[in-house]
Structure 1
């Protein structure tokens, strides 16, 4: 599922079921972790070699940057719980900037900036390119997202530490899909080379 998560349902129906039965093959170029590959599908790992060669290395600051998520906008996470988590992470880890997801609402980001004091940044480029161009914090904190898989690759060799904050089940809305918790845990649990953080007095979890 993680392999095809970024691909639309329509594309999955057109490509995956037919692959291998009518002589066609599908090649997937992905940085996501891959388990069992369907028949007729080949996978080429995206290690962000071109990105690292084309951009950077970035200037690395001594600060911490937070990466936002649109889980509130999609109805998965409660807004108040999310803002409380961001506030706790910013305070505990000394974060100064918040890289907004492209789907985050202006109203929520305004409230976030007022309540946390974070500088909200709306990247014009994909975050992997923005991070390579710099400046970027020595620590980057993210909620469950594909960036916990891609940023360690894009920032390899820079000394930047990428960490992920799991979504506590108590943050989920009553209307969130029953599969949401398991899917989000899978996104973070399969990430390589990242640390784990919590929104309490503890810091990194090995």
Structure 2
């Protein structure tokens, strides 16, 4: 009677104590609905969302080791949280694992978050981030090993900020949001070592290539691979929309970020609405209730608070045949999401006189660049106030 079949030598060898587990799967860190939308677009375009990732803990989805897990780090703002929950549902419908991580729920939340995510981040073969300027994302990235044997890095759009990120990356500059003025104060100084560590993780080299998945006009530096986001997932899943035949106006957070004066903004919205017969105003998720009330009272526009990113809302419809916007992400994304629908996207330039005294010195040039590089849009001069 033959004896037992000998076990292969490789199987007999026990793993060495302390040897790192092989990297597997992709972990995406998102803080906004637009970031999560663009992670879905990246997964659709590259095939990076098949299955679920391992080691996600409570709240994660099922699946094998070769897939994608999205970790949502929600802010406190209610409208953003609502949109994130809706986007999380869409991601789960695509078979993607989603983990909701309350990272800002009190003084101990950051420590709990770091402890909870340390294992998944260190085991991941690839990390996808939506906002490389985020202090929270920088903190988590500082814990990840990149380069030879480490995790690959993908940056997906968080709006027009991607343009500034790529520029600063190419110049080797400190990562600072375009609308921020000065060095950032005591908090920035305290977090400077974390930011520096994260910047090293994001700095490409011959043995550490960084991928940027973007619908923005970016010129990637050496060792950065740019992949075009054409909103294929959005167009495949939604629409085409019914057209109202009217005009919709898209709001921005330029007032909330301290770039544009509130009074000038309201005057420009009023002038645009009258000149183009706009009837609806799609609010940005960060716009304040008081500002929106003044817009409604002063213009008669119907204020619409979208429950999803505007690209999806517009694609589902109904939507105006013309969409007006100030310089913002949507002048780059809506022409892609609405390609072939007959909708015209028009962008109104920002008059330098509208800028606040606290606006960053880079604000004027950056906003002009957002307008000037937009494709397939109609360009409008700054809206002039009109008399009643």
TM-score (norm 1): 0.90
Identify the structure with the greater helix proportion. Answer: 2
Distance in structure 2 (CA, Å) of the matches to 1:194 and 1:60:
18
The match for 1:20 is: 205
The match for 2:45 is: none
Label 1:66 to 1:179 Cα distance change in 2 as closer, same or farther (>3 A). Answer: same
Q: CA deviation at 1:15?
A: 4.0
Label 1:140 to 1:59 Cα distance change in 2 as closer, same or farther (>3 A). Answer: same
Unaligned runs of 5+ in 1: 202-206
Distance in structure 2 (CA, Å) of the matches to 1:12 and 1:159:
43
Q: CA deviation at 1:177?
A: 1.1
Q: Give RMSD over aligned pairs.
A: 2.0
| Aligned residues between the structures | 198
SS across alignment from 1:28: strand
The match for 1:71 is: 254
Counterparts in 2 of 1:114-193, with a 5 A limit? 114-193=297-376
Distance in structure 2 (CA, Å) of the matches to 1:192 and 1:12:
32
**In 2, are the aligned partners of 1:68 and 1:98 still within 8 Å (CA)?**
yes
SS across alignment from 2:374: coil
Unaligned runs of 5+ in 2: 1-159, 167-174, 177-194
Higher relative contact order (CA 8 A, sep 6+): 1
Q: CA deviation at 1:200?
A: 3.8
Distance in structure 2 (CA, Å) of the matches to 1:15 and 1:190:
29
**Residue 94 (1) aligns with residue 277 (2):** yes
Query: Larger deviation: 58-67 or 3-12?
Result: 3-12
Identify the structure with the greater strand proportion. Answer: 1
Query: Larger deviation: 85-94 or 42-51?
Result: 42-51
SS across alignment from 1:114: helix
Q: CA deviation at 1:12?
A: 7.0
**In 1, are the aligned partners of 2:211 and 2:226 still within 8 Å (CA)?**
yes
Label 1:59 to 1:15 Cα distance change in 2 as closer, same or farther (>3 A). Answer: farther
The match for 1:111 is: 294
TM-score (norm 2): 0.49
- 4+ aligned runs moved over 2 Å, structure 1: 1-12, 14-17
**In 2, are the aligned partners of 1:3 and 1:33 still within 8 Å (CA)?**
no
SS across alignment from 1:61: coil
Label 1:160 to 1:189 Cα distance change in 2 as closer, same or farther (>3 A). Answer: same
SS across alignment from 1:71: coil
Label 1:39 to 1:16 Cα distance change in 2 as closer, same or farther (>3 A). Answer: farther
Counterparts in 2 of 1:15-94, with a 5 A limit? 15-17=201-203, 19-21=204-206, 23-35=207-219, 37-94=220-277
Query: Larger deviation: 181-190 or 192-201?
Result: 192-201
Q: Deviations over 1:109-132 (max 9, x none)?
A: 011100010001111101000000
Distance in structure 2 (CA, Å) of the matches to 1:57 and 1:45:
22
Q: CA deviation at 1:28?
A: 1.1
Distance in structure 1 (CA, Å) of the matches to 2:346 and 2:230:
19
SS across alignment from 2:320: strand
- Decide which structure has the larger Cα Rg and report it: 2
